[in-house]
């Protein structure tokens, strides 16, 4: 789907990949509804939009709140006259601890944002997409959604749910005007740890300064790859050389790949 003159909804639009998606979609001639729970971050995104600010609307919403999400489609239509696409990008990680040490409150928060938020947004907007000549739903899973990452097991479970939900949704919509794409980012240079309520400095101190050797992909490059996938109507989009490598290794030798990632990540446990 060519994004020019389309109205795109982007969750997590206040920072990271989400903000970059907003900026690049606007630059390509789309109108954008940016969704985020953080009002200050959304305001900063709006200011960064510059001359394209008139094509941007901002909506302060907790995507894990079904009632609030149900009201969003009409708000977007009121602001832009239509709605053509949804990028479910917002997500949070869990504390880097084993499942045995993870509190149920953290588990529920991760599942509510990462899976139920995607589900609520998709179900709220899908009826409107079916009325459009063409529409597109893009759900951001993770490399951790197809590969076990120790210390992020619940996050991975939520992202694995997003993966299969998206693939199943695509199959259900094959004979319709609605396209569906699943995205698998690897390590991306964002502030997801801070946005997840985690102390990044404390995590680094606990790891003794020994950080994983994976070099994060810049968020603007990740957004560019995702938008390119949208415009090509891609089935799946792998974002970053690490995601591409581990996708290949995990399908070829899953135990080897799982052990490899453990060695890369064990310093954070």
pLDDT digits (tens, 9 = 90+) for 67-108: 999 999 999 999 999 999 999 999 999 999 999 999 999 999
Q: Is the pLDDT assigned to residue 35 strictly greater than 70? A: yes
Residues 6 or more apart whose Cβ sits within 8 Å of residue 56: 22, 26, 31, 32, 33, 34, 45, 46, 49
> Which residues form the catalytic set?
155
For the chain, the average pLDDT equals: 93
CATH fold, domain 7-268, is: Rossmann fold (3.40.50)
pLDDT digits (tens, 9 = 90+) for 219-252: 999 999 999 999 999 999 999 999 999 999 999 9
Q: Is the pLDDT assigned to residue 209 strictly greater than 70? A: no
pTM of the prediction?
0.92
Q: What is the mean pLDDT of residues 25-47?
A: 98
Please report, for the chain, how many H helices and E strands are present, in that order: 12, 9
Answer yes or no: are the C-beta atoms of 114 and 158 closer than 8 Å. Answer: yes
Distance CA(34)–CA(122), nearest Å, equals 15
Query: What is the DSSP-derived secondary structure letter of residue 240?
Result: S
Q: For the chain, what are the domain ranges?
A: 7-268
Q: Is the pLDDT assigned to residue 19 strictly greater than 70? A: yes
Answer yes or no: are the C-beta atoms of 102 and 154 closer than 8 Å. Answer: yes
Strand, coil or helix: 178 = strand
Q: What is the pLDDT of residue 107?
A: 98
Distance CA(145)–CA(231), nearest Å, equals 23
Q: What is the pLDDT of residue 11?
A: 98
Of 40-49, 95-104, 202-211, 242-251, least confident by mean pLDDT is 202-211
Answer yes or no: are the C-beta atoms of 114 and 159 closer than 8 Å. Answer: yes
Q: Please state the φ and ψ torsions of residue 198, each to the nearest 5 degrees.
A: -100, 150
Closest CA to 61 of 83, 35, 32: 35
């Amino acid at each position: 789907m060519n994004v020019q003159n389309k109205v795109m909804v982007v969750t997590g639009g206040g920072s990271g990949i989400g903000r970059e998606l907003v900026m690049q979609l606007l630059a390509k001639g789309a109108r954008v509804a940016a969704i985020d729970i953080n009002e200050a971050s959304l305001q900063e995104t709006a200011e960064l939009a510059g001359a394209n600010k008139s094509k941007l609307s901002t909506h302060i919403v907790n995507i894990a709140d079904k009632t609030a999400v149900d009201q969003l489609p009409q708000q977007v239509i009121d602001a832009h006259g239509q709605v053509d696409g949804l990028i479910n990008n917002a997500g949070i990680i869990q504390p880097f601890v084993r499942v045995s040490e993870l509190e149920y409150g953290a588990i529920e928060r991760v599942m509510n944002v990462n899976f139920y938020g995607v589900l609520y947004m998709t179900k709220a907007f899908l009826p409107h997409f079916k009325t459009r000549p063409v529409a597109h739903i893009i759900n951001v899973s993770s490399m951790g959604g197809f590969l076990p990452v120790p210390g992020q097991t619940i996050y991975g479970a939520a992202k694995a749910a997003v993966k299969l939900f998206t693939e199943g949704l695509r199959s259900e919509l094959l004979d319709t005007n609605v396209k569906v794409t699943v995205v698998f980012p690897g390590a991306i240079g964002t502030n997801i740890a801070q946005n997840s309520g985690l102390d990044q400095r404390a995590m680094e101190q606990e790891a003794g300064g020994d950080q994983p050797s994976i070099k994060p992909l810049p968020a603007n490059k990740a957004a560019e790859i995702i938008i390119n996938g949208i415009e090509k109507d891609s089935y799946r989009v792998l974002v970053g050389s690490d995601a591409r490598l581990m996708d290949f290794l995990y399908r070829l030798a899953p135990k080897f790949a799982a052990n490899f990632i453990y060695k890369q990540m064990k310093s954070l446990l």
